[in-house]
Amino acid sequence: MEFKGTTIICVKKDNVVALGGDGQVTLGNTVVKSKAKKIRKLYNDKVIVGFAGATADAFTLFEKLEDKLNEYAGNLTRAAVELAKEWRTDKILRRLEALLIAADKDTMYLISGNGDVLTPDENICAIGSGGNYAYAAAKALLKYSNLDAKGIVEESLKIASSICIYTNDNIVIETLGE
């Protein structure tokens, strides 16, 4: 599932997790907003989450994830699995069109409505129409630069915004572990 309209990337380096996204919202071929905030901190600022997809759907999923985090005392793994199960099986939720990246200081997940709760093989996860561009940039920067996690996310998003027409350079980044 790929969404036109955003780039979200998460990187972990040296016990710091950074999750960032661009601010562009498109409707078809038209930019309708350039400074949207697609990144949130949840559960007393211990979890960061970002979305690609339909905005209202993502906000619903943010609320559901926060409910699950509260229900499972901040256990992101359990909350992510339970959210994915509910998202896949609930008649209303299964119509929601979005992807989420959620991370705490220890774990990082890509969560989908297909029931996926995926941990990346590397300390990088990206979604959205510019996700592959940002991922490739982050992979190189992680290996060949001295940038910290936040710097890698920022530069990766700038690179993606220079390639993907659905991504802009109004960047919002949240971190954990600094």
- CATH architecture label of 7-176: 4-Layer Sandwich (3.60)
Q: Domain residue spans in the chain?
A: 7-176
Cα distances from 32 to residues 16, 25, 105, in angstroms, run 33, 6, 34
CA–centroid distance for 2 within its chain:
13
pLDDT per 10-residue tile (average), the chain, 178 residues: 76 97 87 91 97 87 96 98 93 86 97 93 95 98 97 98 94 94
Tell me if residue 6 is catalytic.
yes
Nearest residue to 154 (alpha-carbon basis) of 21, 2, 3? 21
In angstroms, rounded to a whole number, what is the distance separating the alpha carbons of residues 33 and 49? 20
pLDDT at 150: 98
CB 168 within 8 A of CB 8: no
What's the confidence (pLDDT) of residue 4?
57
pLDDT of residue 28: 79
